[in-house]
Amino acid sequence: MAVSFKPAVMSTLLLAMALSAGAASANALSENFDGGVPSGWTVVNNSNPLGDAAWFQGNPMAFNAQQGAPNSYIGAAWTSGKDVSAISNWLILPTSTYHNGDTLSFYTRTVESSPFPDRLEVRFSNVGGVNVGGAADSVGSFSSLLLSVNPGQDTGVYPDAWTKYSVTLNGLSGATNGAFAFHYSLDDGGPNGTRSNLIGIDTVSITAVPEPSTYLMLGAGLGLVGLARKRKAKAA
């Protein structure tokens, strides 16, 4: 027995199907760092000379997390390097499928009134993976610089209160298997250098736009609803 729906009901069902399809294809992410470096994320410390610590669970003695437990953020610091060091400390998100319009958002800060400048880059690889090269000045496949917080490595510029930043992908040729990376990068850093102190990252999210097929489905659904309405009007 065939089942038929009124136009209003059909419209609701088709919209739900379209939104469901978009949600299924979206590569959304939400991370609050309740347990250190998340599973599937990769840490690569190319600092030279290399220090004792890479990315680590947040330290509430420096500052509290943006939300959640006081230590539920991820941090990087001068300990990435040794002596006077070129710091190059990477935190790489898992490879996923991205589209133009997908947005990465996060919060970051340093300690209050820090006398040592910090810098953080957000980079993107359009082939994914974890290839950042093996030297302090290499970026590997993460050649797309999307954002630099304190690009001049100047004192007093990196925010010392939790501040939100967002970057949006564009220029992709289509659906792309890629990866975002946070890059803690400083010249003359380390325990004996003039730069590098401590930064935190918290509340990372990726908001994905629906795939084009979602809009096509929705458009086709609205066409069917219009046809049903015409048929109903003719029958009347």
CB atoms within 10 A of CB 133: 15
CA-based angle 111:117:118, to the nearest 5?
Answer: 75
The CA radius of gyration of the chain, in Å to the nearest whole number, is: 23
Please report, as a single letter, which amino acid is at residue 124: F
Please report, as a single letter, which amino acid is at residue 62: A
Q: Running DSSP on this structure, what letter comes out for residue 151? A: T
pLDDT in tens, the chain (236 residues): 444 444 444 444 344 444 444 433 346 899 999 999 999 999 999 999 999 999 999 999 999 999 999 999 999 999 999 999 999 999 999 999 999 999 999 999 999 999 999 999 999 999 999 999 999 999 999 999 999 999 999 999 999 999 999 999 999 999 999 999 999 999 999 999 999 999 999 999 999 987 655 444 444 444 444 444 444 445 55
Q: Running DSSP on this structure, what letter comes out for residue 75? A: E
CA–CA dist 74, 226 (Å, integer): 52
The fold of the 26-210 domain, in CATH, is Jelly Rolls (2.60.120)
CA–CA dist 89, 46 (Å, integer): 6
CA–CA dist 112, 160 (Å, integer): 5
